[in-house]
């Protein structure tokens, strides 16, 4: 098996310190936790940005401050910037601007629409109800922008149908190999449930020679799905964006603690951990 590429997703665009007081929101917090994750063994950090009020933002100036702060510390971690934020109402033109502005090594790219919902039966209303919309023309814009700027897309796949979209974009020459596909699993709604059977189905339908990782959302399935992905030869993501718990009922003390636990799991089953430069070599960055 390849060495394990471990991504740390530090912040996200939705939950904040109410979910876990250690979730970083402001640039200095994000920089500090990125460095801690790198020192703990993460090869990649996936970054979102927040404004002064803690709300999701696509402001390239804030992203630049975070990226430059990480690099100023002599850190060689692979930087993956989000182009997400549709959930927070950020328009595509703003979200994609970080790609030509900053030219990160990797940027996230959701390759399809998804509905996210959770019904509260006790209150008889929807506790969560929103759609992440995207058109094929918009996906073309994102794919072309990344290709033209030499950015490796991390293709976010929420259900098996999105692999069809990956194939369409690849056929048009808008995606370069190796494909880097992130199976996002376990969110309530039109998102594949985080089960071994479902992961096997997704992996069996991957395009040839694609590299893949799993992001299992929420503490219930996070560690088990990560261990399964490791055993299958895939790669993994952890971090407070995906899961705020170290174990049942115990909040993580920060992103690095989640990275450390993930590395222990990997080593216990015999997977070696990729350095940032080894991850670059595997992903042909």
HEC per residue, 185-196: ECCCECCCCCCH
Apex CA 144: angle with CA 165 and CA 162, to 5°?
15
Q: CATH number of the domain that 35 lies in? A: 3.20.20.70
Closest by Cα among 113, 182, 132, 97 to 14: 132
Query: Which pLDDT band, with edges at 50, 70 and 90, does 265 fall under?
Result: very high
pLDDT given for residue 88 in this prediction? 65
The answer to whether residue 91 scores a pLDDT higher than 90 is: no
Residue 20 maps to a domain? yes
Query: Which pLDDT band, with edges at 50, 70 and 90, does 87 fall under?
Result: low
List, for residues 52-81, the tens digit of each pLDDT value. 999 999 999 999 999 999 999 999 999 999
Residue 241 maps to a domain? yes
Residue 1 maps to a domain? no
List, for residues 14-31, the tens digit of each pLDDT value. 889 999 999 999 999 999
The DSSP secondary-structure symbol of 4 reads B
Summary count for the chain: helices (H), strands (E):
10, 14
The answer to whether residue 86 scores a pLDDT higher than 80 is: no
Q: Domain total for the chain?
A: 1
Residue 45 maps to a domain? yes
Alpha-carbon Rg for the chain in angstroms? 17
CA 208 to chain centre: 22
Tell me the residue range of the domain where 194 lies: 6-283
Token pair, residue 10, equals 């530090």
């Amino acid at each position: 098996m390849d060495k394990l590429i471990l991504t740390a997703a530090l912040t996200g665009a939705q939950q904040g310190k109410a979910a876990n007081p250690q979730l970083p929101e402001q640039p200095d917090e994000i920089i500090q936790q990125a460095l801690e994750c790198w020192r703990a063994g993460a090869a990649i950090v996936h970054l979102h940005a927040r404004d002064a009020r803690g709300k999701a933002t696509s402001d390239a100036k804030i992203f630049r401050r975070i990226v430059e702060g990480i690099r100023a510390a002599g850190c060689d971690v692979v930087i993956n910037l989000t182009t997400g934020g549709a959930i927070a109402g950020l328009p595509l033109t703003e979200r994609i601007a970080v790609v030509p502005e900053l030219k990160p090594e990797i940027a996230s790219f959701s390759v399809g629409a998804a509905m996210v919902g959770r019904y509260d039966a006790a209150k008889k209303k929807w506790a969560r109800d929103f759609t992440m919309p995207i058109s094929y023309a918009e996906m073309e814009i994102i794919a072309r922008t990344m290709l033209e700027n030499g950015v490796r897309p991390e293709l976010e796949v929420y259900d098996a149908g999105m692999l069809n979209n990956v194939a369409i974009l690849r056929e048009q020459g808008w995606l370069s190999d190796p494909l880097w596909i992130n199976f996002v699993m376990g969110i309530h709604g039109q998102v594949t449930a985080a089960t071994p059977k479902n992961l096997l189905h997704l992996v069996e339908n991957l395009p040839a020679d694609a590299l893949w990782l799993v992001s299992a959302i929420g503490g219930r399935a996070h560690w088990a799905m990560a261990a399964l992905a490791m055993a299958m030869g895939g790669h993994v993501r952890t971090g407070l964006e995906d899961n705020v718990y170290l174990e049942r009922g115990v909040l993580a003390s920060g992103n690095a603690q989640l990275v450390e636990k993930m590395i222990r799991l990997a080593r216990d089953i015999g997977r070696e951990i990729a350095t940032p430069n080894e991850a670059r070599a595997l992903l042909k960055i």
